[in-house]
Amino acid sequence: MSGGVDSSVAALLLKQQGFEVVGAYMKNWINEDNVTGHCPWMQDIEDARTVAGQIGIEFRVVNLMHDYRRLVVDYLLDGYAHGLTPNPDVMCNREIKFGVFRAYATAGGFAAVATGHYARRIVSGDGTCTLLEGVDKNKDQSYFLALLSPEQLRDARFPVGHLTKPELRALAAGHQLATARKKDSQGICFIGEVKMPDFLRAYVPDHPGPIVRATDGKEIGRHRGLHYYTIGQRKGIGIPSNTDRKAYVVVGKRASDNALLVAFDAPDAPGLFVSEIRVQALSWIGQPVTTSRPLEGRVRYRDPRVPLEFVPGEGGRALIRFVHPQRALAPGQVLALYDGEQLLGGGVYV
């Protein structure tokens, strides 16, 4: 229970269905280094505790700060330090919620871990589990579950996946839950309201280098470190647009001379749109896809599914051929793979 309305209603529904439910707040980060923005974890704990009392269930605070720093924050910082664009939300689900916390729950005799994700878990007659998008397509969060294993999905429950957000809030209001009108949190809590560059500045040393125009190789500025930028970025590059009011966009990073590559933001900007990309660290929720076949992919959380051809390779790698070129795909990001509404798994852009 995060202290938000989604997990509050998830707990309510499970209690109504007759399950023995215990609410748990995962204490992951408390801004002990005083570098991040506002992260109201104390208020979130009190909100979750209040709702647990209203529902009539036990409430616990589970300290996972050490594991979170090791498995999520260090992954985040190491990724940016090596020029990647990591996805801490996906990693938190795999390593913390359904990793360390699932192990804690199993050791305590619990049958499953339930969250407020907008996704649907379906169990077939033979006990096989599949994962579908949430009914509310505007709130669907299946993308963030793309790297779960079959065992993790087996022990997962998503009680609110069949609801739309307005229906969920109406349920919360109807039961007078304390979080019924609480605003949704934005981003990942440990970063709070601070901008990512400010967070990175506190942990990753600056490594200045040239800003190079990709079309002609001309140096047009200097950057403080490649970790501050991602492919497709337009704002905050540190160079002005030209007199024709064309904006520069980041199209690449060159490790050999620590150069940030930019071009004018246009369909023909070199490296901005790609038709093929390779992924690694493939993870499958169900049966692995081992033959070339058409699938759909979500290249980032808020984007719609797009058609592609999946070509499996060796060692958990694959070639992805998009039917339509995709914009600003950065190494380190996650591609979620679908067959219609069914999430099959995912991989990481190379």
CATH for 103: 3.40.50.620
Per the annotation, the verdict on 129 as an active-site residue is no
Domain that holds residue 260: 206-264
What is the sign of the dihedral through the CA atoms of 229, 230, 235 and 239? positive
- Residue 191 pLDDT greater than 60, yes or no: no
Of 11, 3, 69, 8, which Cα lies nearest the Cα of 41? 3
Instruction: Please indicate, yes or no, whether residues 23 and 169 belong to a single structural domain of this protein.
Output: yes
Instruction: Please indicate, yes or no, whether residues 287 and 312 belong to a single structural domain of this protein.
Output: yes
Which of 92, 96, 163, 308 is labelled catalytic? 92
Q: Which pLDDT tens digit goes with each residue over 34-89?
A: 555 556 788 899 999 999 999 999 999 999 999 999 999 999 999 998 989 999 99
Give me the number of domains the chain comprises. 3
Given this model, what pLDDT does residue 201 score? 85
Per the annotation, the verdict on 189 as an active-site residue is yes
**Is the overall model pTM greater than 0.95, yes or no?**
no
Which of 172, 178, 189, 318 is labelled catalytic? 189
Q: Which pLDDT tens digit goes with each residue over 225-260?
A: 999 999 999 998 988 876 566 899 999 999 999 999
Instruction: Please indicate, yes or no, whether residues 54 and 180 belong to a single structural domain of this protein.
Output: yes
Tokens 């007659």 appear where? 125
Given this model, what pLDDT does residue 185 score? 75
Q: Which pLDDT tens digit goes with each residue over 277-302?
A: 999 999 999 899 999 999 999 999 99
What is the sign of the dihedral through the CA atoms of 266, 270, 273 and 275? positive
Mean pLDDT rounded to a whole number for the chain: 93
| φ and ψ at residue 231, rounded to 5 degrees | -60, 135
Instruction: Please indicate, yes or no, whether residues 289 and 339 belong to a single structural domain of this protein.
Output: yes
Q: 227, 242, 264 — which closes off a domain? A: 264
Would you give the end-to-end CA distance of the chain in angstroms?
34
Given this model, what pLDDT does residue 187 score? 59
